[in-house]
C-alpha cells in the first residue's frame, strides 16, 4: 500500500507541486511514505495482540513463568523490528524510482529515527490492544487515530505553510517529528534534528511505560 | 487418603455486575483425573483462568502444589501445564521449535531439552513429524502437540480446557489414551472440563459440577448417577443442572471466534 501511495501521489501531485515552485515533490514525499509504512506496520503488530492472546502463541507465554514486562518488551521489539525493516526496504525501493539521498553521513541518524518511530507506534498499538477485547474497535482506531496521525504529520504536504490549526496538531503529533527530521537528514541538513530526537526519545519511553502498564493489567 | 494438590476455597469473581463465581470451594487430590463440568456460562473457564494465574479473583484462597498464586505466581506456573480451549501454538514454527520455545520459557537447561522433546513427541506419536510446520497439522495433531507441550516441564497438574472439542471420536479416544497413560506413568494430576458427558463418565475419577457460579455437586460419576437415580452421567448432569438451555450473552470472545471461523473458511 505505501508503494501505491508513493506512486499515485508522487507522480500525480508532483507536477502541481513543481508548478508551485516548491521543487521536487518526489524528494519531499519519500520520507513521509517511509514513515507511513513504519506507522502502519508497527501499530498493526501491536493490535494483533487482541488476536494473538486468544488464538495465538501469546496465551502460552502468559501462563509461562515469565514476567509480563518481558513479554511486552519482546512483542514490541519484534513488531518494531519488522516495521523498521519495512522502512528500510522502502527506502531502497524509492532509490529505484529515482529518490536521491543527498547526505549519506546522516543515514545512521535516519535509521535511529525510523527505529524510534517504530518503537513508539508498536508500543501505542500494544497499549490500545490491551484496552480492547474485540477487533470491532479496531476500525474506529484506524480511522480516528492512525489516519489523522498520518495525514497531519507533514508526510504528504509541508506543514509550515499549512493553516495554524494543522500546524498546532502537527506539534503534538509524534510522527511529524520523525517525518520532518528524516526529511531534513536525507537532504543534508541537521536543523532541529537533535531537539526532535530528544522529544521523540522521551515520547517513546513514556509510551513504552504506558504500554507495559496496560499490558500487565490486560484481561484475557 | 492422598494429599490435595489443588485447594480452592471461597473463590469469588465479579465481572461488572455479574457474579461469575460464588464461594467456589473444591479440592483435587494428587494423581486424580478430575472432571470439572457445567453448562455454558457456569464459570468453568473463569475458574481455570484464575487457577492458571491469567485472571485474579476478587476474594478466596487458592493453593496449587502448595503455592499461593498471589505470593509466588512463577512457582505455580511451573507446577502446571495447560491446554487451552483455543489453540495457542505458533503456526509458523515446526513442532520441534514450538516445544523448544516452551523449554526456553520454563528455563529448562539446553542439555535436557533434546531428550525431553524426543521423549514426549514419541509419546504423542509426532516424532516423525517433528520438522513439519504446525500450520500443516490437523486439529487432532495440534491438540496432541499442545498436550505434549503442556507436559514438557514435568508439571504436577495438567489443565485441559475442553481438550477434545471439535474432534472426531477416533481422535478423542486416542487423546484420552495418552492422557490416561500420562496420568498413570508420570502421576500427573489431570484437571479437565468437557461437554462430553460420556468422556467424563469414562475417564474422570472425580467430578465437580458447577452451575451459575456455584459448585452444586461433587463425587465420582457412580455416586452422581446413584444420587440422582439415573442411568448415566448425561442424565445425572441434566437432573442436577436442569434442562433449560442457557441463554448466554454474546461475549467479545464469541465475536472473535466467529471472525476466526470466517477468516479460515
Residue-wise pLDDT tens digits, B92-136: 899 999 999 999 999 989 888 999 999 889 888 899 999 999 999
- Tell me: pLDDT of A116 over 90: yes
Lowest mean per-residue pLDDT among A16-30, A82-96, B42-56, B170-184: A16-30
**Nearest residue, CB atoms, B87 vs list A55, A61, A220:** A55
Per-residue model confidence (pLDDT) at position A187: 83
Q: How confident is the model at residue A15 (pLDDT cuts 50, 70, 90)?
A: low
- Tell me: pLDDT of B29 over 60: yes
Counting Cα atoms < 13 Å in the Cβ hemisphere of A164 gives: 0
Per-residue model confidence (pLDDT) at position A220: 64
**Nearest residue, CB atoms, B252 vs list A58, A63, A133:** A133
What's the complex ipTM? 0.74
H or E stretch covering B189: strand B189-193
Per-residue model confidence (pLDDT) at position A20: 62
Per-residue model confidence (pLDDT) at position A17: 66
Q: Is A22 on the interface with B (CB under 8 A)?
A: no
Per-residue model confidence (pLDDT) at position B3: 82
Hey, are the CB atoms on B55 and A134 less than 8 Å from each other?
Answer: no
Distance CA A83, CA A124 (A): 14
B81, B96 Cβ separation under 8 angstroms: no
Per-residue model confidence (pLDDT) at position B206: 92
Per-residue model confidence (pLDDT) at position B188: 92
Mean pLDDT along residues B22-39: 91
Per-residue model confidence (pLDDT) at position B88: 87
Per-residue model confidence (pLDDT) at position A151: 87
Which of A52-56, A125-129, A153-157 is predicted most confidently?
Answer: A125-129
Mean pLDDT along residues A48-59: 80
Task: Let me know if B171 is exposed, middle or buried by CB neighbors in 10 A (0-12, 13-18, 19+).
Answer: middle
DSSP secondary structure letter of residue B244: P
- Tell me: pLDDT of B218 over 60: yes
Q: pLDDT (tens digit, 9 = 90+) per residue, A36-52?
A: 999 999 998 888 888 78
Q: How confident is the model at residue A16 (pLDDT cuts 50, 70, 90)?
A: low
Domains of chain B: residue spans and CATH:
30-54+72-264 (3.40.50.300)
Give me the total of CB pairs closer than 8 Å, taking one residue from chain A and one from chain B.
59
Mean pLDDT along residues B130-157: 90
Mean pLDDT along residues A82-94: 91
What's the predicted TM-score (pTM) here?
A: 0.81
- Tell me: pLDDT of B238 over 50: yes
Per-residue model confidence (pLDDT) at position A21: 61
A75, A127 Cβ separation under 8 angstroms: no
Lowest mean per-residue pLDDT among A7-16, A86-95, B45-54, B165-174: A7-16
Q: How confident is the model at residue A18 (pLDDT cuts 50, 70, 90)?
A: low
- Give A-chain residues touching B77 at CB under 8 angstroms: 63-65
Q: Is B15 on the interface with A (CB under 8 A)?
A: no
Sign of CA dihedral B152, B155, B161, B167: positive
Question: Hunting for cell 458447577 — which residue is that?
Answer: B210
Q: Is A20 on the interface with B (CB under 8 A)?
A: no
- Tell me: pLDDT of A29 over 90: no
* Burial annotation B95-114 (CB, 10 A radius, 16+ → b, else e): bbbbbbbbbebbebeeeebe
Q: Is B260 on the interface with A (CB under 8 A)?
A: yes
Mean pLDDT along residues B148-155: 90
Lowest mean per-residue pLDDT among A23-27, A112-116, B167-171, B261-265: B261-265
| Residue with more model confidence, A208 or A104 | A208
Q: What percent of chain A has pLDDT over 70?
A: 91
Q: How confident is the model at residue B1 (pLDDT cuts 50, 70, 90)?
A: very low
| Disruptive mutation site among A61, A64, A75, A129 for chain B (greatest number of B CBs within 10 Å) | A64
H or E stretch covering B191: strand B189-193
* φ, ψ dihedrals at B133, nearest 5°: -70, 140
Q: Is A103 on the interface with B (CB under 8 A)?
A: no
- Tell me: pLDDT of A5 over 60: yes
Cα dihedral B207/B211/B217/B221 (nearest 10): -40
- Tell me: pLDDT of B164 over 90: no
Mean pLDDT along residues B187-191: 93
Hey, are the CB atoms on B52 and A63 less than 8 Å from each other?
Answer: yes
- Give B-chain residues touching A50 at CB under 8 angstroms: 256
Mean pLDDT along residues A17-29: 72
- Tell me: pLDDT of B87 over 50: yes
Mind spelling out the 3-state secondary structure of B10-46?
EEEEEECCEEEEEEEEEEEECCCEEEEECCCCCCHHH
In B31-125, the DSSP E strands lie at 33-37, 59-64, 80-83
Amino acid at each position: 500500500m505505501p508503494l501505491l501511495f508513493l506512486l499515485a501521489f508522487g507522480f500525480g501531485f508532483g507536477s502541481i507541486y513543481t508548478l508551485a515552485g516548491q521543487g521536487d515533490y518526489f524528494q519531499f514525499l519519500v520520507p513521509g511514505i517511509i514513515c507511513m509504512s513504519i506507522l502502519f506496520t508497527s501499530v498493526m503488530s501491536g493490535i494483533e495482540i487482541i488476536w494473538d492472546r486468544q488464538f495465538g502463541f501469546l496465551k502460552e507465554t502468559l501462563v509461562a513463568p515469565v514476567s509480563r514486562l518481558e513479554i511486552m518488551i519482546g512483542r514490541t521489539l519484534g513488531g518494531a523490528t519488522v516495521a523498521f525493516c519495512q522502512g528500510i526496504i522502502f527506502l531502497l525501493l524509492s532509490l529505484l524510482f529515482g529518490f536521491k539521498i543527498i547526505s549519506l553521513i546522516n543515514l545512521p541518524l535516519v535509521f535511529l529515527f525510523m527505529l524510534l518511530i517504530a518503537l513508539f507506534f508498536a508500543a501505542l498499538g500494544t497499549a490500545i490492544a490491551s484496552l480492547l477485547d474485540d477487533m470491532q474497535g479496531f476500525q474506529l482506531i484506524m480511522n480516528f487515530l492512525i489516519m489523522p496521525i498520518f495525514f497531519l504529520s507533514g508526510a504528504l504536504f509541508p506543514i509550515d505553510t499549512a493553516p495554524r490549526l494543522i500546524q498546532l496538531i502537527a506539534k503534538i503529533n509524534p510522527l511529524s517529528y520523525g517525518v520532518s527530521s528524516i526529511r531534513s537528514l536525507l537532504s543534508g541538513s541537521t536543523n532541529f534534528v537533535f531537539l526532535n530526537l530528544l522529544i521523540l526519545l522521551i515520547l517513546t519511553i513514556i509510551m513504552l511505560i504506558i504500554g507495559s502498564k496496560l499490558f500487565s493489567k490486560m484481561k484475557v | 487418603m492422598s494429599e490435595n494438590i489443588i485447594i480452592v476455597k471461597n473463590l469469588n469473581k465479579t465481572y461488572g455486575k455479574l457474579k461469575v463465581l460464588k464461594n467456589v470451594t473444591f479440592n483435587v487430590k494428587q494423581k486424580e483425573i478430575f472432571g470439572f463440568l457445567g453448562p455454558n456460562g457456569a464459570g468453568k473457564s473463569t475458574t481455570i483462568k484464575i487457577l492458571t494465574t491469567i485472571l485474579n479473583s476478587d476474594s478466596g484462597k487458592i493453593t496449587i502444589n502448595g503455592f499461593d498464586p498471589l505470593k509466588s505466581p512463577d512457582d505455580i506456573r511451573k507446577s502446571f501445564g495447560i491446554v487451552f480451549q483455543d489453540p495457542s501454538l505458533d503456526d509458523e514454527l515446526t513442532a520441534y521449535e514450538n516445544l523448544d520455545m516452551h523449554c526456553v520459557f520454563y528455563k529448562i537447561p539446553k542439555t535436557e531439552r533434546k531428550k525431553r522433546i524426543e521423549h514426549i513427541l514419541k509419546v504423542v506419536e509426532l516424532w516423525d513429524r517433528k520438522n513439519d510446520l504446525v500450520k500443516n497439522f490437523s486439529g487432532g495433531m495440534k491438540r496432541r502437540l499442545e498436550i505434549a507441550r503442556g507436559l514438557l516441564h514435568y508439571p504436577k497438574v495438567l489443565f485441559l480446557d475442553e481438550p477434545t472439542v471439535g474432534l472426531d471420536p477416533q481422535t478423542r479416544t486416542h487423546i484420552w489414551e495418552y492422557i490416561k497413560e500420562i496420568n498413570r506413568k508420570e502421576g500427573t494430576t489431570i484437571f479437565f472440563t468437557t461437554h462430553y458427558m460420556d468422556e467424563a463418565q469414562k475417564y474422570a475419577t472425580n467430578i465437580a459440577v458447577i452451575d451459575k457460579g456455584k459448585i452444586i455437586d461433587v463425587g465420582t460419576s457412580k455416586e452422581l448417577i446413584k444420587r440422582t437415580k439415573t442411568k448415566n452421567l448425561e442424565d445425572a448432569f441434566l437432573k442436577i443442572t436442569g434442562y433449560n438451555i442457557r441463554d448466554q450473552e454474546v461475549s467479545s470472545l464469541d465475536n472473535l471466534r466467529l471472525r476466526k471461523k470466517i477468516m479460515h473458511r
